[in-house]
Amino acid sequence: MTAVAVVTHHAHQRACELAREAITWLRGEGHDAWVTRGSDVAELADLADDRPPATADLVVSLGGDGTMLHAVHQLDGAAVPLLGVNLGRLGYLTEVEADSDQMVEAIARFFSGAEAGQWTIDERMMLDIEAVDASGDHVGRWRALNEGVVEKLESGHTVRLLVRIDGEPFTSYAADGLIVSTPTGSTAYSLSARGPVVSPKHAALLVTPVAPHMLFDRSLVLDPTESIEIEVLGNRVASVAVDGRPMCELHEGAVVTCRPSAATARFVRLGEHHYHQVLKVKFGLTDR
């Protein structure tokens, strides 16, 4: 018997329908399956369970890339394979489309085993992010798949942020914010700030300023062995966001440290996953 946790988009009717279909099929095959409480879907309350996804053998995500991020956060670094069923526009992270037959076939292939060549794992680098205040007291600790962002809190103002790389000062930025992203996150917020697109097969840290009020506006692509510290300078309040979720406010002297996590996200792939082909479709690129 295999344990399967299902994470659904909280406001998508089709996701609720697929969740019920998936769990009905799984239980009919003798597997243990439930909807995670973190999905917060009232109409699936009869299928919900308090067990964390980390106790499962497989997590199925029903939604878009945002739901995949939610599932990754619920796993909190646990090495559980994650299968994404796409109900969004075009998922960078998901594997199959929102079709009942495709979903069931994908889950059935997972049970056939990696040894039989039915699936592989696409392992993605993550970030550990920690914030301390000016006195060195702990403020928060988080893990990100896409990025950590230190940014302005007030509209119409920049913040001043000093960047240190491996403890050595690099430069200070006057900007709307700074993004520290993984290669997976290079096609998220970092891309909108004109950061580079980096293959998720790489391990790297990307530092991208947001609307910098200075001549140096380039992204930095750093080795994964390097750590990044961002210190808030001056009296303007900054904030921290992790994968788009606001976490806390930071005052002068506070420091945010970003470094590669020992944990990785593990996505189930049923065939060859060509990241550049997803990118091509996303941006409507054509062969020349």
C-alpha 204/C-alpha 240 separation (Å) is: 21
Strand-pair category, 48-49 with 220-222: unpaired
First-last CA distance in the chain: 50
Q: What's the per-residue H, E or C state across 175-215?
A: ECEEEEECCHHHHCHHHHCCCCCCCCCCCCEEEEEECCCCC
Active site residue 65: yes
Residue 72 is given by DSSP the state H
In single-letter form, the type of residue at position 137 comes to: D
- Active-site hit among 65, 122, 176, 243: 65
107: phi then psi, degrees, rounded to nearest 5 = -65, -40
What distance in Å separates the CA atoms of residue 180 and residue 31, rounded to the nearest whole number?
40
Phi, psi at residue 195, to the nearest 5°? -80, 165
**Catalytic residue annotation:** 65
